[in-house]
Structure 1
Amino acid sequence: MINDVIDHLAGIRPGSRLDKLRDLRPAAREHAQRGFDALFTPDEEGEVPLVERDAVAAFVAGLHRDAVVAGFYADRLADLAPGLLKAVEAEIEAGATAGPYGVYPAPLAAESDEGLRYQVREPGNLGVRLTAAFEHAHLLVFRPREASGQALEALAAAGWGPTGVVTLSQLVAFLAFQVRVVGGLRLLNAEVAA
């Protein structure tokens, strides 16, 4: 059991200078952990089973290219569904890109960059729900301004209800937050060590 997943992923030891620094913002620390707990250790899984949560988390963390965070979520998925991990890793490779992308109308047209339009390569390996979830997650990570009602309709057509769509979106947003916080803390940790 991990008491503070951000500390764990950032390599922060109890009593260290960085641990004390994080203690200066107890509410931020507490709410980040509560966010993790709500998404990954809920009292009830509801519309989104843990295996789907961990598959999406492994995919999204892999897209962010943080080896430690990606490994953490891949390990969680391997504990629940070892056979699914290989398919997720293949989709991470297929979806790897830099972004952000999007095609925008004036006055933002100058910021347009077509980039990769990801589609799951092997839908049979993921199933209908995870295929739609991965495509939507990739959209949110690399093309957030293109998120639309049509994208939500694709999720609904794949069996995602309103609560499931909200949970999926929260997962993607939480992972983006977590990867950035962990990266920043690791950088501070390296500076403190130097």
Structure 2
Amino acid sequence: MTQANPATADVVDNVAGLAAGSATHALRHQREKVAAATQGSYDALFDPALPGLPLTERLLVALYAARLTPAPELVAHYSARLAQAGADADLVTVAGQGNADSLADPRLRAILAFTRTLIENPVAGDEAALKALPAAGLATPEVVTLAQLIAFLSYQVRLVAGLKALKALNTLQSQEAAA
């Protein structure tokens, strides 16, 4: 697995707004191995050297998945990553608005359509959905990477949502205790 990038030391903590030493941060890091594995998966899936799907396509998938979910903090995170990567602003806008049907590029349109299917209706991610990807020019390793990426994004979105809910609960309990 790739070494953690200092600029993304812990994306989930940053996106969920977990301050070191807070109750929610401490709870999450009780299983440091899980927190480290989550960050390691992020680092590996968004490693520019990962063969197959180009980094920009992976980031567009992440932005699109975050938009569809919706997960505004992750939308902001992936939008910033795309800006850093120098992605085409029109593509970022399309992915950020969740409207991939307007894309002229059949490859990217198929990638985002598959993303939408797995995010909104995973049961529909059947053989026909998979076969649309090679028909649009994706090689088998790219299809596998795409499926792994979408699975990770589903996990990441739910993890961030759960941590935000715990953080809000902890804040409310602290306020009630102080009153």
User: What TM-score comes out, normalization by structure 2 length?
Assistant: 0.86
1:60 corresponds, among 65, 70, 93, to 65
Q: Distance in 2 between matches of 1:72 and 1:182?
A: 12
Aligned to 1:88, what secondary structure does the other structure show?
Answer: helix
Q: Provide the TM-score with structure 1 as the length reference.
A: 0.79
Between the aligned partners of 2:28 and 2:120, the Cα distance in structure 1 is 30
Unaligned ranges ≥5, structure 1: 95-119
Q: Number of residues paired by the alignment?
A: 164
CA RMSD in angstroms comes to 1.4
Which residue is 2:107 aligned to?
A: 129
Partner Cα distance (1:60, 1:151) in 2: 17
Shift of 1:148: 1.7
Q: What does the per-residue CA deviation read over 1:20-53, in whole Å, with 9 as the maximum and x for residues that have no partner?
A: 21221111111111110111125x2311110000
1:146 aligned partner: 124
Question: Does 2:18 correspond to 1:5?
Answer: no
Q: CA shift at 1:128, angstroms?
A: 2.1
CA distance in 2, matches of 1:193, 1:144: 34
CA shift digits 1:123-143 (9 cap, x unpaired): 21xx12211101111111122
State the shift of 1:150 in Å.
1.7
SS in 2 for 1:45: coil
Separation of aligned partners in 1, 2:37 and 2:11? 12
What secondary structure is seen at the aligned counterpart in 1 of 2:19? coil
Shift of 1:177: 0.7
Q: More helix by proportion, 1 or 2?
A: 2
**Number of the residue aligned with 1:86:** 93
The Cα shift of 1:68 comes to 0.7
Q: 1:48 aligns with which of 50, 53, 71?
A: 53
* Aligned counterpart in structure 1 of residue 26 of structure 2, from 20, 24, 27: 20
Equivalent of 1:35, from 30, 38, 41?
A: 41
CA shift digits 1:40-84 (9 cap, x unpaired): 125x23111100000111001100111111111122112221422
Equivalent residues of 2:19, 2:25 under 8 A apart:
yes
Query: How far apart are 1:87 and its partner, in Å?
Result: 2.3
Deviation at 1:171, TM superposition (A): 1.3
Distance, in Å, in 2 between the alignment partners of 1:157 and 1:82 is 24
SS at match of 1:188: helix
Distance 1:10 1:89 in 2: 19
Structure 2 unaligned blocks of 5 or more: 1-6, 173-179
Identity %: 36
Superposed structure 1 runs of 4+ greater than 6 Å apart: none
